[in-house]
Structure 1
Amino acid sequence: MQGKKLYQEKLFSSFQLSHRVPENNFYRRLKEVLDLSFLYKKTQSYYGSCGQKSIDPVVFYKLCLVGYLENIISDRKLIEHCSMRLDILYFLGFDIDEELPWHSTLSRTRQLFPEALFEQVFTHVLSMCVEKGMVAGHTQAIDSAPIKANASMDSLELKVPEEELEAYLQKARYQSREDRKPKENKAPKKTTNNYSK
């Protein structure tokens, strides 16, 4: 008999993220080894003593780390992406029914902290990952991608004055011609004497 799956949202459900995220998941392993509690002391001087509570600095830096690891540069897209991934929610310490911070909160918080603090956090996180064996220094790789330029040809400017253009083009043609010439062998050629007596 053919089965047919019907979806109906439950009013109440029993669900635990820790049961759904596999033991070998990267973000689960990262959550276990990454202790960012030092951030509370490092960032305390950037906050006032009254008013509404800010985003937790640990959550903020974890979001920055996720953006780096997932190659997401837009705060809006980062929050959308995180809200759909159970392993990332678990890493951040959020449950499935909890709202993530607004993307604008990330932008404002990023402007609050100096660049030196970001570098310190990055170095600290990297050293912790090396200690736990998650990162090794035996392989290095550089990633790149060709990106098509989005520029109008009409916006290009002539960098050489018009009256000097012909001389410039001749010089460029000459240099190009010289580059195409085969390199001469520097060994001395033997000469023969063709004089007849």
Structure 2
Amino acid sequence: MQGRKSYTEKLFLSFRLSDRVPEDNLYRRLRETLDLSFLYRDTKELYGSTGNPSIDPVVFFKLLIAGYLENITSDRKLAEHCSMRMDVLYFLGYDLDEELPWHSTISRTRQLYPASLFEKLFNKVFALCVDSGMVSGHTQAVDSAPIKANASMESVVPKMPAAPMGDHLKKVSEENGGTQQRQAKTMSPAHITAPEHHLRRVEKHHQNLRDSPVQLVGARHKKARLLSNKTHYNPHDPDARISVKPGKARKLNYRCSMAVDTAEGVISHIQADFADGRDSQYLTDISLRI
């Protein structure tokens, strides 16, 4: 006899998440192993004594852990994904009928917390891995990869010519005739500078592209530009650097370096650097930190 399942929502039901999440589930094991209660003490000074209650700091960091494990970088998608996973809800301490924090709240909270707090959490989790015997400390595998910056190549602008400091101070004194305090205020450059000979060379190259009668296949000379970290930057993210990977287009990136203990694949160190540097430049600092 052929069976057919019919579904009618119940008005009342008896349900517990703990009964539905298996004992060997990763998030259940994390909930039982990972004690993040120290975050209440370490984040207390970041909040005022009045106003509406914020997102629970422990819940916030558990959401970030879930986002890393699920490979989700969007806060909006993270909130949607976690709301449909019973094991993640159990890990966060939420029930089926409770709404998770809004994605905008997650983004604002991330900006509120200093980088030192994230590093402290990393060290805490890493210490737990060491105590449990997951880290041997014998061999570390180190590698790096470009991470796309939240900035566009279309927004890069040329750097300004760098004037000698003596000429700059003399000009400030002549134009303003004020005190040293007023001079100090005007010393802060509004733009990032570059050597003048670099800018002249780039301008000559651009002029050659505009004057050349030859049209390359798939490109227009009037839009072609020679972009270099020596002569251009993105004002929205000045730390982003132009880099290229073989077979890929040039983009504004950062360099993410990661070290892994080879015993169980536990991440022992991770850091972000400028994308225009070489691995050998950052290896010394990574080795000392490890």
Give your verdict on TM over 0.5: yes
Specify the alignment match of 1:22 in structure 2.
Answer: 22
Aligned length: 156
Please say if residues 33 and 129 of structure 1, whose CA atoms lie closer than 8 Å, have aligned partners that are also in contact: no
**Higher Cα Rg: structure 1 or 2?**
1
* Residues in 1 aligned to 2:65 and 2:23: alpha-carbon distance in whole angstroms: 20
Go from structure 1 to structure 2 and tell me whether the alpha carbon gap of 1:151 and 1:43 turns closer, same or farther (over 3 Å shift).
closer
CA apart distance, 1:130 = 3.6
Aligned match of 1:34: 34
Equivalent position of 1:182 in the other structure = none
TM-score (norm 1): 0.70
Task: Give the one of 184, 203, 225 matched to 1:157.
Answer: 225
Structure 1 distance, partners of 2:10, 2:144, is 45
The percentage of aligned residue pairs carrying the same residue is 60
Cα RMSD after superposing both structures: 2.7
Which is worse superposed, 64-73 or 44-53? 64-73
* Matched residue, 1:58: 58
Give the deviation of 1:126 after TM superposition: 2.2
Distance 2:111 2:16 in 1: 35
How many angstroms does 1:132 deviate by? 3.5
Q: Give TM-score, length-normalised by structure 2.
A: 0.49
Can you give the 5+ residue segments of structure 1 that lack an aligned partner in the other structure?
Answer: 160-197
- The structure whose residues are more often helix, as a share, is 1
Q: Is the 8 A contact 1:27 1:87 kept in 2?
A: yes
Deviation sequence 1:103-134 (CA, Å, 0-9, x none): 0000111111111111111111222234245x
2:128 is aligned to: 128
Give, as a single letter, the amino acid of the residue that structure 2 aligns with 1:45. Answer: E
Bigger fraction of residues in strand: 2
Indicate if the aligned counterparts of 1:75 and 1:107 stay in contact, CA closer than 8 A: yes
When residues 131 and 98 of structure 1 are mapped into structure 2, their CA distance, relative to the original with a 3 A threshold, is same
Give the Å deviation of 1:157.
1.7
Distance 1:48 1:158, change over 3 A: closer
Task: Tell me what 2:2 maps to.
Answer: 2
Q: Is the 8 A contact 1:23 1:29 kept in 2?
A: yes
Alpha-carbon distance between aligned partners in 2 of 1:17 and 1:141, rounded to the nearest angstrom: 40
Mapped partners of 2:63, 2:100: distance in 1: 10
Query: Is the alpha carbon distance of 1:30 and 1:141 closer, same or farther for their aligned partners in structure 2, counting shifts above 3 Å?
Result: farther
Q: Structure 2: how far apart are the matches of 1:143 and 1:30?
A: 28
How far apart in 2 are the matches of 1:16 and 1:51? 33
Tell me how far 1:158 sits from its aligned partner: 4.0
Point out where structure 2 has 5 or more consecutive residues left out of the alignment. Answer: 155-218, 228-290
Which residue of structure 2 lines up, in the alignment, with residue 77 of structure 1?
77
Which residue pairs with 1:68 in the alignment? 68
